[in-house]
Amino acid sequence: MSERAPRVVIVGAGFGGLGAAKRLAGERVDVTLVDRRNHHLFQPLLYQVATAALSPADIAAPIRSIFADAKNVRVLLDEVTGIDAAGSRIMLGRTGSLDFDWLILATGARHSYFGHDHWAAHAPGLKSIDDAIDIRRRVLLALELAETETNIWRRRQLLTFVVIGGGPTGVEMAGAIAELARRSVSRDFRSITPHCSRVVLIEAGKQVLPAFPPRLSAAAQQALSDLGVEVLVDTPVSEIVDGQVIAGKERIAAATVVWAAGVQASPAAQWLGAEHDKQGRIFVERDLRVPHHERIFAIGDTANVPGIDGKVLPAIAPVAKQQGRCVADQILGRCSTPFTYRSFGNLATIGRSKAVIDWGRHQQSGFMAWLIWSFAHIWFLVGFRSRIVVGIQWFWSYLTYQRSARLITGQDAKPPIQISSREAA
C-alpha cells in the first residue's frame, strides 16, 4: 500500500499563496487552496479599476481556471476562522474543518484607520474589486452630479477629490483621478472643464513615496503637481466626516475621499497566539516558519520578514511570490536555506506617461520609467488574455485619453451633502 501524499493547505490566493500553489502543482502532495473569494486579484492595478481605466475582469482570474490542469490542487471557497495547531487543523466558516500536514498562511492585509474605524464609511480603502467598484461609483457619480449642480459651494465639493496616504497606491490613485477628472471626461461634459476639479493628496510624513530615495520622491511630487494635484506633506489627518476632511489646519470639503494610508494584517497571529508587530504581521524564522510551529509558514503581508539591510521587506508582489516559491521548495525538500529576497527594484507610476523606479544605485524617472512600469505590470498579470487586453486598453487610453470602463454600478448614492455657508466649503 502506497504512502499517503502530504496534505498542504494554503490559506489565501494572493501573490504568495498562488506562487506556492503553482510551485507545488504536479508534485506528490495534495494541495488545498482556501480563499474567501473565487478569484486571484492583481492588486497593483486596482486603482485603474477605481478610476475607470480597466474593468475588473482585466485584472482578476478565477482561481479554479488557473489550476484546472493541476490535478493535485483543490480549490476551496471558504473563510478561516481559527487554527488548531496542536491538532494540525484549520477551522472554516462554512465547511467545518480541514486537516493539514503543512500549512502556508498567505492571508494578506486589510485597511487600517489607526484606531479611527468610523472613518471607513467616509473614506473607503482599496483592497478588493468591491472596493474599486465602490470608489469608481463615487468618483463618476460626483462628476455626474456636478454637471447639473447650480449651488457653487456644493459643486466645488463634488469636484474635490481627496486621497489620504502618499505611498505608491495613494500617488497612483491621485494621479489617475486627476487625469480622469481633468482630461478624460471633461470633453464629455458641458459644464465641467479641465480646471474645475480639485485633487488633493495628503501625506502625514515629510515626503510622498517615503520608501523611495528623496530624488525620486521629489520627481514624483513634481509630476503630481504637473497633473494639477495639490500635495500636502507633513499634514496628518485628524478627522474625516461625511463630506469633509480635517488635515492639519485645513478643513477640506470633498464629496469623494479615498483611504490609502495604512494596512493591518489578517488575524493569523491571533489564530496561532504568535508574536507579531503593531501591524499584526507574524515574526517568523529566517526560513519563514512560524516560531514553535515546525510545519506552519507565514508569508507575504502576513509575515514580518527583515531583509539583508535589517529593514522589514515591503508588502509588494515580488516579495510574496518569492516567499511562496521558497516555502514550497522547503516542503518538497528542495531547499533548506534561509529566505533571501532578490529585489528587482521599486516602481510607482504617476499618470499616463511618468513613473519612478528605484534600482538601488540606478534611479530613473519620466517616460522611460513609465514604459518599464507598464511592461512589468503587463508581464506579471495572470493569463495571456489579461495581458493582451490590458496592453490594448493602455495603448488606446494613451492615444485618446478615453476610459472605457466608466460605468456607475452598485447601490444608489447617498443624498447630496448640504453646505450652508462659504466657510464650510
109, 272, 411, 412 from 302: Cα distances, Å = 7, 12, 32, 35
Beta bridge partners of 237: 247
How many other β-carbons are positioned within 10 Å of the β-carbon of residue 369? 24
Q: Residue 176 and residue 171: Cα distance in Å, rounded?
A: 9
Q: State the Cα–Cα distance between residues 395 and 129, nearest whole angstrom.
A: 23
- Angle at 76 (CA atoms; ends 75, 79), nearest 5 degrees: 140
Single out the catalytic residue among 3, 27, 149, 172.
172
Q: Dihedral of the CA atoms 230, 236, 241, 242 (nearest 10)?
A: 20
Q: Tell me the residue length of the chain.
A: 425
**CA 48 – CA 53 distance, rounded (Å):** 5
C-alpha cell at 3: 504512502
Given a contact cutoff of 8 angstroms between Cβ atoms, the answer to whether 102 and 9 are in contact is yes
Nearest-angstrom CA–CA distance, 316 and 240 = 28
- Whether 203 is a known active-site residue: answer no
Comparing C-alpha atoms, which of 404, 376, 423 is closest to residue 44? 376
CA proximity to 386, closest of 44, 84, 25: 44
Q: How far is CA 281 from CA 44, 97, 152, 225, 278, in A?
A: 20, 24, 47, 35, 7
The answer to whether residues 175 and 223 touch, using CB atoms and an 8 Å cutoff, is yes
- Pair 175, 351: CB distance under 8 Å: yes
| Cβ(166)–Cβ(201) below 8 Å | yes
Q: Would you name the residues annotated as active-site residues? A: 172
